[in-house]
C-alpha cells in the first residue's frame, strides 16, 4: 500500500465514523422510548460490528486488563449514543473528543506526573470549550438536552478509560481487542434490551446492521490497513475529520442545527486537539528526525496505534 492509499484509508475511516448521527437520528426510530433509545442503539451497533469482525480475530488470550477495558467500552458505547439521541450530534461528538484531556488530567491528579508545558495551552482551550457548552446547555436547555450533554461528558471519560487500558494492552492483537470490546458490550446489554421488549422491524433491522457494519466495523478495517504506512501523528490529524463532519451530516440529512455556543466550544476543543496532536507532535517529530543518525524517516520513530478504531 502506498502512503497516498494509506491516507485515503484513514480518511475513509474518519468519514464513516462521522456518520453516527445519520443512523442515530433516523426518524423511523421515533416510536422507541427516547430515554432508552441510545442504549438499544448501543446493543445493536455492537452486535452487528462484532459479528462482522469475528472471522478476523486472531491471538485470543485473556488478560486481567480486558475486564476494565470492556466495561469502559460498554459505558462509552451507551453514553455516546445516549448523548447523540438526547442532544445534538455536535455536542455528542465534541464532548466525547475530550477523552485525551481526561487522560491528561488523570496523569496529573491521580498519578501525580508533572505536566509537560506543551499540554498547558491545549488543556486550557479544551476546558474553555466544554465550559462554554455546559454553561448554555445546563442553564437554558431542556431536561433531555441536559441528560444528553452530561452523557457526552461521561462518554469522554469512558473513552479515556478505554485509551488508558489499550495502551497497557498494546502488545495484544488489535482485531481481538476490538472484537472483544464490541462482543462484551453487546452481551452486557442483552438483559436490558430483552427487558425493554423493543423489537426492530425489518427496515429498522437493516438500518441497525448498516449502523454496526458501516459506521463501526468497516472504519476499523480501513484504519488498520492505513496504519501500516501512515504514522499515528498523521492518522490523528486526518481523524479530526470525524468530529467536524459528524454535525454536518446530521444537518444535511436530518436538518439538525447545532447552537452557536456548541460551534464556538467545538472550535476551542478542536484548537486544543490540533495543537496537542498535530502541531506539537509535528515539532517533536522534527526534533527527533534531526537527532537521528543517518537521516531515517521521522515517522518511523512515532508509535503507531489503533485507539481511534474504538469510537
Q: What DSSP string describes the chain?
A: --HHHHHHHHHHHHHHHTTHHHHHT-GGGTTS-HHHHHHHHHHHHHHHHHHHHGGG--S----TTHHHHHHHHHHHHHHHHHHHHHS-HHHHHHHHTTHHHHHHHHHHHTS-PPPPHHHHHHHHHHHHHHHHHHHHHHHHS-HHHHHHHHHHHHHHHHHHHHHHHHHHTTTS-HHHHHHHHHHHHHHHHHHHHHHHT----HHHHHHHHHHHIIIIIHHHHHHHHHTTTS-HHHHHHHHTHHHHHHHHHHHHHH-----HHHHHHHHHHHHHHHIIIIIHHHHHHHHHHHHSTT---GGGGSPP--GGGG-
Q: Which of 172, 198, 204 is nearest to 48 (CA)?
A: 204
* Cβ atoms < 10 Å from Cβ of 303: 9
Top-confidence residue, 100 or 12 = 12
The reported pLDDT for the residue numbered 235 is 81
> What are the CA-CA distances from residue 253 to residues 91, 214, 216, 218, 219 (Å)?
17, 17, 19, 21, 20
490540533: which residue's cell? 274
The reported pLDDT for the residue numbered 15 is 95
162-221 per-position pLDDT tens digit: 988 888 887 888 889 999 999 999 999 999 999 999 999 999 999 999 999 999 999 988
433491522: which residue's cell? 205
Average pLDDT over residues 93-118: 83
Highest-pLDDT range among 96-100, 247-251, 299-303: 247-251
Does residue 18 register a pLDDT over 80?
yes
In degrees, rounded to 5, the angle at the alpha carbon of residue 96 between the alpha carbons of residues 90 and 101 is 125
Mean pLDDT of the chain: 86
Average pLDDT over residues 304-311: 48
The reported pLDDT for the residue numbered 105 is 83
Top-confidence residue, 145 or 257 = 257
254's CB contacts (< 8 A; 6+ apart) are 21, 22, 25, 26, 27
Could you tell me the pLDDT band of residue 96, with boundaries at 50, 70 and 90? very high
Extents of the domains making up the chain: 3-310
The reported pLDDT for the residue numbered 309 is 47
The reported pLDDT for the residue numbered 72 is 95
Could you tell me the pLDDT band of residue 93, with boundaries at 50, 70 and 90? very high
Burial letters for 181-199: b for 16+ Cβ neighbours within 10 Å, e otherwise?
bbbbbbebbeeebeeeebe
246, 89 Cβ separation under 8 angstroms: yes
The reported pLDDT for the residue numbered 310 is 53
pTM: 0.85
The reported pLDDT for the residue numbered 298 is 40
Highest-pLDDT range among 151-165, 201-215, 284-298: 201-215
Average pLDDT over residues 78-96: 94
Average pLDDT over residues 26-45: 94
The reported pLDDT for the residue numbered 311 is 57
Top-confidence residue, 242 or 281 = 242
Does residue 66 register a pLDDT over 50?
yes
Percentage of residues of the chain with pLDDT beyond 70:
92
The reported pLDDT for the residue numbered 237 is 80
243, 94 Cβ separation under 8 angstroms: yes
Could you tell me the pLDDT band of residue 117, with boundaries at 50, 70 and 90? confident
Grid cell listed for 207: 438500518
Top-confidence residue, 144 or 1 = 1
The reported pLDDT for the residue numbered 294 is 54
Amino acid at each position: 500500500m502506498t502512503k497516498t492509499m494509506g491516507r485515503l484509508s484513514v480518511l475513509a475511516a474518519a468519514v464513516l465514523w462521522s456518520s453516527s448521527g445519520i443512523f442515530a437520528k433516523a426518524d423511523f426510530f421515533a416510536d422507541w422510548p427516547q430515554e432508552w433509545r441510545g442504549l438499544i442503539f448501543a446493543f445493536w451497533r455492537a452486535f452487528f460490528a462484532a459479528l462482522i469482525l469475528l472471522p478476523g480475530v486472531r491471538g485470543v488470550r485473556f488478560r486481567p486488563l480486558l475486564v476494565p477495558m470492556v466495561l469502559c467500552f460498554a459505558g462509552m458505547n451507551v453514553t455516546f449514543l445516549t448523548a447523540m439521541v438526547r442532544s445534538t450530534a455536535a455536542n455528542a461528538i465534541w464532548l466525547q473528543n475530550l477523552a485525551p484531556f481526561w487522560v491528561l488530567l488523570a496523569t496529573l491528579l491521580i498519578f501525580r506526573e508533572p505536566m509537560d508545558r506543551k499540554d498547558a495551552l491545549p488543556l486550557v482551550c479544551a476546558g474553555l470549550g466544554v465550559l462554554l457548552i455546559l454553561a448554555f446547555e445546563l442553564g437554558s436547555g431542556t431536561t433531555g438536552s441536559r441528560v444528553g450533554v452530561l452523557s457526552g461528558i461521561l462518554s469522554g471519560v469512558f473513552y479515556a478509560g478505554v485509551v488508558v487500558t489499550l495502551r497497557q494492552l498494546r502488545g495484544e492483537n488489535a482485531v481481538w481487542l476490538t472484537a472483544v470490546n464490541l462482543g462484551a458490550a453487546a452481551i452486557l446489554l442483552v438483559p436490558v434490551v430483552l427487558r425493554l421488549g423493543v423489537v426492530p422491524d425489518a427496515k429498522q433491522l437493516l438500518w441497525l446492521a448498516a449502523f454496526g457494519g458501516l459506521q463501526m466495523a468497516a472504519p476499523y478495517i480501513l484504519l488498520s490497513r492505513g496504519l501500516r504506512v501512515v504514522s499515528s501523528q498523521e492518522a490523528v490529524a486526518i481523524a479530526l475529520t470525524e468530529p467536524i463532519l459528524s454535525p454536518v451530516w446530521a444537518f444535511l440529512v436530518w436538518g439538525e442545527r447545532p447552537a452557536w455556543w456548541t460551534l464556538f466550544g467545538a472550535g476551542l476543543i478542536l484548537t486544543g486537539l490540533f495543537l496537542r496532536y498535530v502541531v506539537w507532535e509535528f515539532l517533536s517529530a522534527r526534533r527527533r528526525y534531526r537527532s537521528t543518525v543517518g537521516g531515517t524517516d521521522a515517522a518511523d520513530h512515532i508509535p503507531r496505534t489503533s485507539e481511534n478504531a474504538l469510537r
